[in-house]
């Protein structure tokens, strides 16, 4: 793949950067010229950043709990201390923890799903907006999901529906401040097995059946009848974050082979 320098002299902050889509986004941003801050709860993010640094890219790895405002605020402060500004925020933290019909979720599980897939985006927008407004603009990309219409993950769907609402509503508020807010909603995406799974407990046989139903529904809902790739998602996220998308804000773009979510 040939890389451009379209993010040269840009400071970009990517959350959930240790694995999957977030890792892919952080790597591509760095290779396209951005000074890139990689944030994750896991120490795996340190190795991702080290690899990029060894290749000559300017990066900073930070570990933080982004389910709290204090955690995200500390990330923003450390980024500003290091680089002076934040031009792009990619809110990528989230992911289904459990897969089962809604009546089988405990109240505690519902809260954990919402905490994982809604709050980091809510806190991220709130934490970064003051500095973006003060410097005269910026871009926030909120990674959502077409699983807002899906089976066996209602709490996750509710959280990602909230992310879509944040994107639409915040864009109304911030257009006058030259801050663009765009959502990108991945569909089923092929990815390496997670080093740290979202659910630390192994699936039961029944849970495996419920998860297979998600896979079947995901393919059936896609016009292309298949899963996409991490590169499919990364390319759309980087387009939305770039100056090429300067006249786009307040929308969530589905990247799901025709499944609109």
Alpha carbon distance 35, 129 (integer Å): 19
| Spatial separation of the C-alpha atoms in residues 177 and 21, rounded to whole Å | 29
Catalytic residue among 156, 211, 227, 247: 156
Q: Is residue 247 among the annotated active site residues?
A: no
C-alpha 89/C-alpha 133 separation (Å) is: 13
How far apart CA 140 and CA 123 sit, in angstroms, is 12
Catalytic residues: 156
């Amino acid at each position: 793949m040939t890389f451009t320098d379209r993010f040269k002299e840009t400071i970009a902050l990517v959350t959930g950067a240790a694995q999957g889509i977030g890792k892919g986004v952080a790597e591509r941003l760095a290779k396209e010229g951005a000074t890139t801050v990689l944030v994750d709860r896991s120490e795996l993010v340190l190795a991702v950043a080290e690899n990029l640094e060894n290749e000559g890219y300017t990066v900073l790895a930070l570990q933080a709990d982004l389910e709290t405002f204090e955690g995200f605020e500390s990330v923003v402060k450390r980024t500003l201390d290091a680089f002076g500004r934040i031009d792009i925020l990619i809110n990528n933290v989230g992911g289904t923890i459990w897969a089962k019909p809604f009546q089988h979720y405990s109240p505690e599980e519902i809260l954990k799903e919402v905490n994982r897939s809604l709050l980091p985006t809510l806190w991220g927008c709130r934490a970064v907006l003051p500095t973006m407004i003060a410097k005269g603009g910026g871009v926030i990309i909120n990674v959502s999901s077409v699983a807002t219409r899906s089976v066996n993950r209602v709490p996750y769907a509710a959280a990602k529906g909230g992310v879509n609402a944040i994107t639409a509503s915040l864009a109304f508020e911030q257009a006058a401040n030259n801050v663009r807010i765009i959502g990108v909603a991945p569909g089923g995406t092929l990815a390496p097995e997670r080093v740290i799974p979202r659910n630390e407990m192994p699936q039961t046989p029944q849970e495996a059946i419920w998860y297979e139903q998600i896979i079947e529904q995901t393919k059936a809902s896609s016009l292309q009848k298949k899963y996409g790739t991490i590169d499919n998602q990364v390319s759309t996220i980087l387009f939305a974050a770039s100056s090429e998308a300067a006249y786009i804000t307040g929308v969530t773009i589905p990247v799901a082979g025709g499944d609109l979510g």
